[in-house]
Structure 1
Amino acid sequence: MLVETLIDTPYYHAVGKEIDVFNQAYKNKIPFLLKGPTGTGKSRFVEFMAHQLDKKIITISCHEETSSTDLIGRFIIKGAETVWLDGPLTTAVKEGAIIYLDEIAEARPDVIVAIHSLTDHRRELFIDKLGETVKAHEDFMLVASFNPGYQRGFKELKPSTRQRFIAVSFDYPEPKIETEILVNETDIDTDTAKKLVAIGNKIRNLTELGLTETVSTRLLVDAAKIIHSGLPKRLSVHVAIVEPLTDDLQTLEALKDLCNLMI
């Protein structure tokens, strides 16, 4: 899925020096890699930085079928003619936009090959179907993200790719900051926000459950939204936090019982 986004004013709460690092990466034309679990604010951070820099951002949600053709472009039939259509990567390279490859490790290997010449001193894109090389616009920036924990033992970025980026690790915010995020995003009362954050941290520490993914800040925000709009608290927690985490009936019941004691 390819999404082109024009940014309004996204909310983002810095938890370290990630804003300074991103600004320096942009200034020095160095690709930027975000590492961390799902729902820790990686995509929101990139949107925020694009807004701060007043740059257009093109987001590509990578998956196992994402190919270099999807990014670079293809020939299409238009009437009686065959015409070339630039892909989102080519568009970003030419226009000087920020291209964000979300979950890049999910994409096919030819995607990594395609971006290599954009992530070193050359800053150029070779379009093999046209036999052309396009030099990147002065303002072009390549940003990528991936989830090391989820990909471990399945798909990983090779060292030859990772070492082309400046990298920053994202994790779940500390409780005070996560509470502020919930309040700011949803207008929920502070007391309820604190309880939701406490539930999130409790489940994150239950490593014995063997969950593939744990409670993201995104799930907490969803729970806060539907509580604020009128759904009962326990039901909101069950459908927005517990149910998305697992299909195992015993684990579901254990998590529901735990949450009922805390909300």
Structure 2
Amino acid sequence: MQVKPPRPYYVPVANEEQVFKAAYKQGLSIALKGPTGCGKTRFVEAMAHDLDRPLVTVSCHDDLTTADLVGRFLLRGGDTEWVDGPLTRAVREGAICYLDEVVEARQDTTVVLHPLADHRRQLPIERLGVTLDAAPGFCLVVSYNPGYQSVLKDLKDSTRQRMVAIEFGFPTPDVEEKIVANEAAIDHDRAADLVRLGQAIRRLETGGLREVASTRVLIAAGRLIAEGLIPREAARAAIAGPLTDDSTVTRGLLEMIDVYLHDGSPDD
């Protein structure tokens, strides 16, 4: 008998779990909106676990084609055979298909989602001349960061109006401390220091930052601390380094790290 793996660690911030499960039961598609590294992917993993559905994840990018999603003919052993793409596999299996950062894909690629995202729940496969009905349990979930992408990289109105939207932000400090402490396996005092640093960086008004300090980078810094790095070194490597290449902004971040983190025990 196969043992079900434990639930991915996710701490709800509002009513996002109830909204997701209600939409899933009604066969509605779902759009997750929020900044990079705020927990959208972990949330989908937790929902797939709760609903006991397989999860198919696709990281979208500029070169993603319709064939990459739906499938293509390949030559194998001298024969040409059709190979399903991840979206088609999910449709056939009744899985949750999660398209991460969907606006990074070309708009002519995402149009294939329309008949799946509305009441039809169908996937036309032109190369096979067939239209698949989504198996029971199938759910289409997409995510994107509306505060980061430009107007040229935005979700089409015709796509977004086919979906239920769930808005994400960074957790409240007490929740984020729990997440960082659990995910990085560090004590809560050290996690609290990292969260205070993250909040301070998020309050900055500067054009030199690629992104604000996400929960993800705070966890990465915590993991380095768990491996024995002193907190300031861990934060320089996991937070300041990934956030900017601007030397002036970097100096400012390093000064903030020195203010908010100390290299002794948390009680010092």
TM-score w.r.t. structure 1 length? 0.95
Q: Look up the match of 2:26.
A: 28
**How far apart are the structure 2 equivalents of 1:143 and 1:254?**
38
How far does residue 144 in structure 1 lie from its aligned partner after superposition?
0.3
Q: Look up the match of 1:56.
A: 54
Which stretch of the first structure deviates more once superposed, 109-118 or 13-22? 109-118
CA contact (8 A) 1:7 1:50 kept: no
CA contact (8 A) 1:34 1:146 kept: yes
Which stretch of the first structure deviates more once superposed, 8-17 or 31-40? 8-17
**Aligned CA distance change for structure 1 residues 75 and 138 (closer, same or farther; 3 Å):** same
**How far apart are the structure 1 equivalents of 2:119 and 2:169?**
31
**CA distances 1:191-248 after superposition (whole Å, capped 9, x unpaired):** 1111100000000000135423110000000001111120011100100111110011
Letter aligned with residue 199 of structure 1: L
TM-score w.r.t. structure 2 length? 0.94
**How far apart are the structure 1 equivalents of 2:30 and 2:151?**
23
Equivalent positions of 1:10-89 (< 5 A) are 10-89=8-87
Letter aligned with residue 146 of structure 1: Y
**How far apart are the structure 2 equivalents of 1:63 and 1:209?**
24
CA contact (8 A) 2:208 2:244 kept: no
CA contact (8 A) 2:64 2:105 kept: yes
- Number of equivalenced pairs: 258
Letter aligned with residue 259 of structure 1: I
Equivalent positions of 1:173-212 (< 5 A) are 173-212=171-210
How far does residue 7 in structure 1 lie from its aligned partner after superposition?
6.4
Q: Give the 3-state SS of the residue equivalent to 1:179 in structure 2.
A: helix
**Aligned CA distance change for structure 1 residues 262 and 209 (closer, same or farther; 3 Å):** farther
Q: Give the 3-state SS of the residue equivalent to 1:148 in structure 2.
A: coil
Q: Give the 3-state SS of the residue equivalent to 1:118 in structure 2.
A: helix
How far does residue 184 in structure 1 lie from its aligned partner after superposition?
1.3
RMSD over aligned CA atoms reads 1.2
CA contact (8 A) 1:7 1:47 kept: no
Q: Give the 3-state SS of the residue equivalent to 1:71 in structure 2.
A: helix
Q: Look up the match of 2:121.
A: 123
Q: Look up the match of 1:246.
A: 244
Letter aligned with residue 255 of structure 1: L
**How far apart are the structure 1 equivalents of 2:185 and 2:75?**
50
How far does residue 49 in structure 1 lie from its aligned partner after superposition?
0.4
CA contact (8 A) 1:103 1:146 kept: yes
How far does residue 138 in structure 1 lie from its aligned partner after superposition?
1.4
Structure 1 unmatched runs, 5+: 1-5
Structure 2 unmatched runs, 5+: 262-268
**Aligned CA distance change for structure 1 residues 7 and 98 (closer, same or farther; 3 Å):** farther
CA contact (8 A) 1:150 1:212 kept: no
Q: Give the 3-state SS of the residue equivalent to 2:228 in structure 1.
A: coil
Q: Look up the match of 1:259.
A: 257
**Aligned CA distance change for structure 1 residues 71 and 218 (closer, same or farther; 3 Å):** same
How far does residue 33 in structure 1 lie from its aligned partner after superposition?
0.5
Q: Look up the match of 2:222.
A: 224
How far does residue 9 in structure 1 lie from its aligned partner after superposition?
2.6
Letter aligned with residue 234 of structure 1: R
Q: Look up the match of 2:156.
A: 158
Runs of 4+ in 1 over 4 A off after TM superposition: none
CA contact (8 A) 1:104 1:146 kept: yes
Which residue, 4, 7, 17 being the options, matches 1:9? 7
Q: Look up the match of 1:3.
A: none
